Chains A and B, each alone.
Chain A
Amino acid sequence: MEDMIKSLDVARIRQDFPALNERVNGRPLVFLDSAASSQKPVQMLAALEQAYRTSYANVHRGVYYNSERTTDLYDQARGKIARFIGAPAPENVVFVRNATEALNLVAYSYGRHFLRAGDEILLTELEHHANFVPWLVLARERGVRLKFIPLTPQGTLDLSKLDELLTPRVKLVTFAHVSNVLGTITDPKPIIDRAHAIGAKVIVDGCQAAPHMPVDVGALDCDFYALSGHKMLGPTGIGVLYGKAEVLDAMPPFMTGGDMISNVSFDSVSWNDAPVKFEAGTPAFVEAIGLGAAVDYLAALGMDAVRAHEREVVAYALDRLSEVPGATVIGPTDPDIRGGAVAFTIKDIHPHDLGTLLDREGVAIRAGHHCAQPLHTRLGLTATARASFYIYTELREVDALIEAIYKAKQVLRK
């Protein structure tokens, strides 16, 4: 056993990411928007190309060589992802388009089947729209009430009133493992255990966690876990819903059609078993194979090492930003409880103007409400700027960010 976490060889890693060598507006690209979508390693791109170039055919259809080979690759990818997130079996992994679809699947299938008027769903004030709007729609449609775990002034979840919030009417509890705005890492286990104690099911939105730190859904004991492939080196159009076997089995299908059936006659139909029950039609199997290659890449680096690297970059960014006059970091200041995203404001400069001026220096950041409007309203802000980091981020890129911010201040005379 190794006690020391190995550290990432970032210079070596960057060689696997051709897009990082591009120049933008005549300057080397400084890509600080991985929380929105990550760049892609050549190993993942090669897996996509090989799946399309060699022995390509649809899955779960033919009895001929190509179809069986592609089906094997698809099944292998499911197994790789199950192992990566600590799922007990590949059958716990449902392939979807993205985390938004994963959360909608739970809202439509589980929510509409099991929730009744007067039931309650407990979420938090920091959710991304993807883990808020599906519940809002369900609440309106079914007379279900939404309740929110509030925030502390530091930007963490205020769990002091959790027992009061967890009334017997609460049937679902859902929260982001890591906030895409505040960066806050929430320890899911205590919330999951307390929710289970009152019989509620728990959904964890792992979009900003699974790419950045070790995740073990088995140990967490959550009922569902959602993630997006494109944020973790994978292609677009593929995401994952993890579900406990007994919960997935009890749920009706979300969409119906081919592949997800067991028997169809002119007047009746029976469903296939999970996960295929939730994968109507031809799935994005090449993208799933690509995501399999992406998690191979991450697993080889070691997720403890990934987390340690990002913690270092975040700590450095918090430090450098604190030197900039007028800069305010949103969210916790302790890098131990922060994921790879740092949202901030610069006094008297609108985030969009900052984003445009930084772009001219080749620095790519996100500006806006980051699909978390209720949170921004709660914070009294309309928009923030956000720099986010990943396995390929170097400290010199944080320096480039800071330099570009000073330059923007100069141009705008702030």
Chain B
Amino acid sequence: MEDLYRENLLDHYENPRHHGTLEHADFSHEESNPLCGDRIRVDVKLSEDGSQIVDIAFSGDGCIISQASASMLMEEVDGKPISDVQKLERQDILDLVGAPLTTARVKCALLGLKVLKAGLYQYLVDHQD
């Protein structure tokens, strides 16, 4: 277990990167995991042409896995084109966490990505030409 709750994960939990909210976000989205009450909100600021993430922040509360993996995800996607975000998958998040998770805990780890993708999807639907 120490291999899961190891230094890197605990560090992201205790010192979350990109933690907070953005004042002029292009989109914000929030969801919770009904099973355990983990809750994550993501605020995203995009470039002028809407193709790239220029600033991102998350807030919320919940277990270490959900909050630390959201923090890792923020670092991963900040500055990236949104096409990269759309390509992110379950395994990419599990790779970031870097330690085996039981089935029940995978949901916790994936909440941040789920929120980001759902928010981005809604933004793209709302901004179709």
Residues on A close to B: CB < 8 A?
350-353, 356-357, 359-360, 367-369, 373, 376, 382-383, 411-413
* Closest partner residue, chain B, to A407 (CB atom): B1
Please measure, in the bound complex, the distance between the C-alpha atom of A413 and the C-alpha atom of B37, giving whole angstroms: 23
In-complex Cβ contact of A353 among B5, B35, B37, B102 (8 A): B5
Would A352 and B1 count as touching, CB distance under 8 A? no
- Chain B residues near A356: list those with CB within 8 A: 1, 4, 65, 102, 105
- Chain B residues near A351: list those with CB within 8 A: 36, 63
- Chain B residues near A382: list those with CB within 8 A: 36-37, 61-62
Known A350-B63, A353-B65, A412-B10; judge A383-B5 contact (CB<8 A). Answer: no
- Chain B residues near A350: list those with CB within 8 A: 36, 62-64
Smallest CB separation, B102 vs chain A (Å): 7
In-complex Cβ contact of B108 among A352, A373, A376 (8 A): A352
- List 30 A–B pairs whose Cβ atoms lie within 8 Å, in order of A's numbering: A350-B36, A350-B62, A350-B63, A352-B36, A352-B38, A352-B62, A352-B63, A352-B104, A352-B105, A356-B1, A356-B4, A356-B65, A356-B102, A356-B105, A359-B102, A360-B1, A367-B36, A368-B35, A369-B35, A369-B37, A376-B37, A382-B36, A382-B37, A382-B62, A383-B36, A383-B37, A411-B2, A411-B5, A412-B64, A413-B10
Contact string against A for B residues 29-53, beta-carbon threshold 8 Å, 1 for contact and 0 otherwise? 0000011111000000000000000
Would A352 and B65 count as touching, CB distance under 8 A? yes
- Chain B residues near A360: list those with CB within 8 A: 1
Smallest CB separation, B13 vs chain A (Å): 9
* Closest partner residue, chain B, to A376 (CB atom): B37
- Chain A residues near B62: list those with CB within 8 A: 350, 352, 382
* Leading 8 A-B pairs by shortest Cβ distance: A382-B37, A360-B1, A350-B63, A352-B63, A353-B64, A353-B63, A352-B36, A383-B36
Known A359-B102, A411-B2, A412-B10; judge A368-B64 contact (CB<8 A). Answer: no
Contact string against A for B residues 89-122, beta-carbon threshold 8 Å, 1 for contact and 0 otherwise? 0000000000000101100100000000000000
Smallest CB separation, A36 vs chain B (Å): 13
Would A368 and B36 count as touching, CB distance under 8 A? yes
- Chain B residues near A359: list those with CB within 8 A: 1, 102
In-complex Cβ contact of B1 among A357, A369, A383, A413 (8 A): A357
Smallest CB separation, B70 vs chain A (Å): 14
Q: How many A-B residue pairs have CB under 8 A?
A: 49
Please measure, in the bound complex, the distance between the C-alpha atom of A376 and the C-alpha atom of B37, giving whole angstroms: 10
Contact string against A for B residues 1-40, beta-carbon threshold 8 Å, 1 for contact and 0 otherwise? 1101100001000000000000000000000001111100
Please measure, in the bound complex, the distance between the C-alpha atom of A407 and the C-alpha atom of B64, giving whole angstroms: 16
Please measure, in the bound complex, the distance between the C-alpha atom of A387 and the C-alpha atom of B34, giving whole angstroms: 21
Please measure, in the bound complex, the distance between the C-alpha atom of A356 and the C-alpha atom of B104, giving whole angstroms: 10
Question: Considering the complex, which residues of chain B in the window 45-97 have a beta carbon less than 8 Å from any beta carbon of chain A?
Answer: 61-65
Smallest CB separation, B4 vs chain A (Å): 7
Please measure, in the bound complex, the distance between the C-alpha atom of A360 and the C-alpha atom of B102, giving whole angstroms: 11
Please measure, in the bound complex, the distance between the C-alpha atom of A350 and the C-alpha atom of B105, giving whole angstroms: 12
Please measure, in the bound complex, the distance between the C-alpha atom of A63 and the C-alpha atom of B29, giving whole angstroms: 64
Please measure, in the bound complex, the distance between the C-alpha atom of A176 and the C-alpha atom of B1, giving whole angstroms: 37
* Closest partner residue, chain B, to A369 (CB atom): B37
Known: A411-B1, A412-B5. 14 other contacts (CB 8 A): A350-B36, A352-B36, A352-B38, A352-B63, A352-B65, A352-B104, A352-B105, A356-B105, A357-B1, A359-B102, A369-B37, A373-B34, A382-B61, A412-B10
Please measure, in the bound complex, the distance between the C-alpha atom of A411 and the C-alpha atom of B36, giving whole angstroms: 21
Smallest CB separation, A221 vs chain B (Å): 38
- Chain A residues near B65: list those with CB within 8 A: 352-353, 356
- Chain B residues near A357: list those with CB within 8 A: 1, 5
- Chain B residues near A411: list those with CB within 8 A: 1-2, 5
Please measure, in the bound complex, the distance between the C-alpha atom of A342 and the C-alpha atom of B56, giving whole angstroms: 41
Please measure, in the bound complex, the distance between the C-alpha atom of A351 and the C-alpha atom of B104, giving whole angstroms: 13
Smallest CB separation, A60 vs chain B (Å): 40
Please measure, in the bound complex, the distance between the C-alpha atom of A353 and the C-alpha atom of B108, giving whole angstroms: 10
- Chain A residues near B4: list those with CB within 8 A: 356
- Chain A residues near B63: list those with CB within 8 A: 350-353
Smallest CB separation, A382 vs chain B (Å): 3
- Chain A residues near B35: list those with CB within 8 A: 368-369
Smallest CB separation, B68 vs chain A (Å): 10
Please measure, in the bound complex, the distance between the C-alpha atom of A350 and the C-alpha atom of B37, giving whole angstroms: 10
* Closest partner residue, chain B, to A356 (CB atom): B105
* Closest partner residue, chain B, to A411 (CB atom): B5
* Closest partner residue, chain A, to B2 (CB atom): A411
- Chain A residues near B34: list those with CB within 8 A: 373
Please measure, in the bound complex, the distance between the C-alpha atom of A373 and the C-alpha atom of B63, giving whole angstroms: 17
Smallest CB separation, B123 vs chain A (Å): 28
Smallest CB separation, B69 vs chain A (Å): 13
* Closest partner residue, chain A, to B64 (CB atom): A353
- Chain B residues near A367: list those with CB within 8 A: 36
Please measure, in the bound complex, the distance between the C-alpha atom of A368 and the C-alpha atom of B65, giving whole angstroms: 15
